Amino acid sequence: MTEATITLNVSRFRPAEDVEPATRAYSVPMHRDWVVLDALNHIKDHIDGSLSFRWSCRMGVCGSCGMMVNGEPKLTCSVFLRDYYPGEIRVEPLVNFPVLRDLVVDISAFLDKLQKVQPWIVRDEEKPAADGEYLQTPDQLDRYKGFTACINCMLCYSACPIFGLETDFIGPAALALAHRYNEDSRDKGAAQRWNVINDHHGAWQCTFVGECSVACPKHVDPAAAIQRLKVDTAKRWMRSVLLPWGRK
């Protein structure tokens, strides 16, 4: 009995050799417990070793394997072949980023944006270790906990048409992480993040399409974070205008 197969139409592109990406069809064994990443690894191991793609943990926590699957930004380790079978599966590199090779995109612009928001606890002074831990109430933790789940997979950037139109837009993940740290009671860095957030390419460029939150595999809800940043920034701005002698 012949084994069941499923067809993957994969985007291939060799830099400095190909002018445009082209789609190549691959027939892969159909397994009910395989994800798209398994199929890609099968292609690389048994059909075409030159296929290039990023992956690591296989379990949806590292954020490496983001690609377009039938036109939707997905973590390929988290989408099952059985949800598309017997239809064909189109695998393409994440949109809104330049393609480096095959399914690999250049993420350096994203990494720059991430650094700009200073996604770490910012404090003038650290508490000495002998004084013990920083304490947080459940309410204080609740303010930012959801936004800590970001795995930097960039699916939100592919989902965001505003980022697609204007690649200088700092984008959903960076803003969500800025909000995560601003809301953390241990952090004192809101003023330092201000100029990045309160910028034409910061929170103000977002027009609340909301697709970033739909695409996010970790339910971070960057759209909510960005709108809250707008509210916080508008309040701070109003205070700085109406009460210029107030706190910095």
Partner 1 sequence: MHGRKTLEPFWWGLFSAGGVVAAFFVPAHVLLQGIAVPLDWIPDAPELLRLWPVRLYLFVLISLPLFHWAHRFYFTLIDIGLKPLRAPLALLCYGGAFAGTGIAAWILLRL
Partner 2 sequence: MMLNRPDPSRLHPQPLPRTWWLRRRSYFLFLVREFTSLFIAAYLVLLMAGLYQLGSGHEAYSEWQGRMAEPGWILLHGVILVFAVFHSVTWFQTTSIVIELKAGGVKLPRAMFTALNVAAWLAVSAFIVILFQSR
Count residues near partner 1 (CB under 8 A). Answer: 21
Query: CB-wise, 82 or 148, nearer to partner 2?
Result: 148
* Closest approach of partner 1 to the CB of residue 191, in Å: 7
104 - beta bridge partners? 101
Query: CB-wise, 148 or 198, nearer to partner 1?
Result: 198
Q: Which residues bind partner 2 (CB under 8 A)?
A: 13, 15-16, 20-21, 93, 95-100, 106, 108, 111-112, 115, 139, 161, 164-165, 207-211, 214, 221, 223-224, 227-228, 231
**Is residue 90 classed as helix, strand or coil in its secondary structure?**
strand
Strand ordering across the sheet containing 5-12: 22-29, 5-12, 89-92, 66-69, 72-75
Which amino acid is present at 238?
A: M
Q: Which does 90 bind (CB under 5 to 8 A by kind): partner 1, partner 2, none?
A: none
Q: Which does 238 bind (CB under 5 to 8 A by kind): partner 1, partner 2, none?
A: partner 1
| 240's tokens | 């700085």
Which of 8, 22, 91, 83 has its CA nearest to residue 54?
91
CA distances from 3 to 6, 24, 34, 206 (A): 10, 21, 14, 49
Site for partner 1 in 171-210 (CB under 8 A): 191, 194-195, 198-200, 204, 207
Q: Does the footprint of partner 1 cover residue 165 (CB under 8 A)?
A: yes
Please report which residue ranges of the chain form alpha helices under DSSP H: 36-42, 108-116, 138-142, 155-159, 161-165, 172-182, 190-197, 211-215, 222-242
Query: CB-wise, 5 or 240, nearer to partner 1?
Result: 240
* Closest approach of partner 2 to the CB of residue 139, in Å: 7
Contact footprint for partner 1 (CB under 8 A)? 161-162, 165-166, 191, 194-195, 198-200, 204, 207, 230, 233-234, 236-238, 240-241, 248
